[in-house]
Amino acid sequence: MADATRPSEHAGRGAGGAMREARREATVVLTVDLALLVGLAVVDKARGWDIIDLPWWAWLVLAAPALILIIVLLAVPLAGLSPGRMRNAGVVLLGLLVASDAVAIAVLLGALAGSSAAKLTAGDLLAHGSVVWLSNIITFGLLFWQLDDAGPATRATQGRVAPDFGFPQDTMGPAFWEPRLSDYLYVAFTNAMAFSPTDTMPLTRRAKGLMALESIISYAVVILVVARAVNVLGT
């Protein structure tokens, strides 16, 4: 675990530089998430796909929290990453993105269980399942990054005092190491693939709860939706 009394890795480039870097990385990742959902809406409209009569523009509604969060990070980057109401609002928006993923997977499972399941094509299922799965990884990676030890700004200025995640580098890595957004995305990716922690351990109840929730959504997509798509391809 990082020692709160030693200088942070960010000290070399300054807290301001670390914050700008964090904002840039988060904006890029959120833009990818937004593009996935908007792209799915465009494909739905172009191909006439309607999962249980869900209109194509519904995916734009589910993508709205990502767009709002991008605007917040660009307009008030310091407030958006520092403890306070704006950062809390950002966490709420990420929570809405989690809810969006849950709604999307519920829609897919409802379609699979419904009378119109036979009409679903492999491309239909794989496109929707892949977008939901990738969006799930991005959303939880951002949540882990925002919530770990009071957020990016606190970690940049004070180091990791009470971390929610235990990284291997905390005990065996280089001195003064601090995780970046890519590290949390990796945690989210491996958790979505293995349905359990791999090299990074959740240390708090909220971290364990979030990882469990991500695994549930990922499990539903991979085991049910993708398996059904493979069956359709086989027939």
Q: What's the pLDDT at 95?
A: 93
- What tens digit of pLDDT does each residue of 191-217 get? 999 888 888 999 999 999 999 999 999
Mean pLDDT in residue range 61-79: 87
- Cα–Cα distance for residue pair 186/25, rounded to 1 Å: 14
Q: Is the pLDDT of residue 3 over 60?
A: no
Residues 6+ apart with CB under 8 A from 208: 202
- What tens digit of pLDDT does each residue of 147-204 get? 998 788 888 777 788 899 999 888 876 667 788 999 999 999 999 998 888 889 999 9
Give the closest residue to 214 by CA, choosing from 158, 146, 135. 135
Give the closest residue to 76 by CA, choosing from 122, 30, 27, 121. 27
Give just the sign of the alpha carbon dihedral 116, 100, 29, 176.
Answer: negative
Mean pLDDT in residue range 4-22: 57
> CB of 127 within 8 A of CB of 209?
no
Residues 6+ apart with CB under 8 A from 220: 105, 109
- Cα–Cα distance for residue pair 208/30, rounded to 1 Å: 23
Q: What's the pLDDT at 30?
A: 95
Structure tokens at 3: 């020692």
DSSP designation for 200? S
> CB of 128 within 8 A of CB of 108?
yes
Give phi and psi for 36, each to the nearest 5. Answer: -60, -50
Q: What's the pLDDT at 15?
A: 62
Strands (E), the chain: 165-166, 201-202
Confidence band of 5 (pLDDT split at 50, 70, 90): very low
Q: What's the pLDDT at 235?
A: 56
* Backbone conformation region of residue 6, classed left if phi is above 0, alpha if psi is from -120 to 50, else beta: beta
Q: Is the pLDDT of residue 1 over 50?
A: no
52 vs 151, more confident: 151
For the entire predicted model, the pTM comes to 0.86
- What tens digit of pLDDT does each residue of 76-131 get? 866 667 777 888 888 999 999 999 989 888 888 877 776 566 677 777 788 888 89
Side chain identity, residue 173: G
